[in-house]
Structure 1
């Protein structure tokens, strides 16, 4: 037997958290507005933020109480009826085709991954690149040998203030 929910619905905890956040946020906000303290702006902002955060609990409460009939859930959770009509046959064929295509694509990605974790291309030559570290003197020497063009000196124009 299915339990009967009255009044607040299934998510009573979310409802009371939302109400508590609203009340606390409103109290903090009103203290910031009407009490003469030097940090009134902090209280106003904090109260507004707490009231805003109560929206999360209101959304949880509302979405937790949405009623969905089992007939509407059939397609979403895989409880598909075995229809004998043409639409059911077409739907089944499309589902099987979609499953085969997605499985084929998924398996092709799995086959191309090596043990090292990178994709491989069959019969592709492997290129090995060696790298060496250079000392600061060698870097300056090589950079001066590579570049013959010298960038002209430019000045920046400024407008008189």
Structure 2
């Protein structure tokens, strides 16, 4: 099962998305390249339109599969010291910006 470990969640959405893509691709290519006639009239355009609709509809399956496989944020214990360094840097920059705004607003109120 090592091959399918990355696909562990939402397998049904993945199968639906892949099948819709395959059906859409086959239908689209048959509509473009095959000379299909029904009662003497060309009917390839309906295959092209239905192929595009299948491919567009498969986007819903891909979105469901992708959103089902998004992992949450790691627990705070698993965060490394790099994150605390980034947090300290962000706080320092934020304090400087806030103090700069405060000093500018007090100077403008004096004038």
TM range (shorter): 0.5 to 0.7
Q: Which residue of structure 1 lines up, in the alignment, with residue 65 of structure 2?
A: 61
CA RMSD of aligned residues (A): 1.8
CA shift, 1:69, in A, is: 3.2
TM-score by length of 1: 0.40
Residue segments in structure 1 that go unaligned for 5+ positions in a row: 73-161
Give the structure-2-normalised TM-score: 0.56
- Picking from 41, 44, 48, the partner of 1:44 is 48
Displaced runs of 4 or more, over 3 A: 69-72
Bigger relative CO (Cα 8 Å, ≥ 6 apart): 2
In the TM superposition, 1:79-90 aligns within 5 A as: none
1:71 offset after TM fit, Å? 4.5
Structure showing the higher helix proportion among its residues: 2
Greater Cα radius of gyration, structure 1 or 2: 1
Cα deviation for residue 9 of structure 1 reads 2.5
Once residues 74 and 52 of structure 2 are traced to their aligned partners in structure 1, the CA distance between those partners, rounded to angstroms, is: 40
Shift of 1:34: 1.1
Q: Give structure 2 stretches of 5+ with no counterpart.
A: 37-41, 77-111
| Partner SS state of residue 48, structure 2 | helix
SS across alignment from 2:32: helix
C-alpha distance in 1, partners of 2:18/2:74? 31
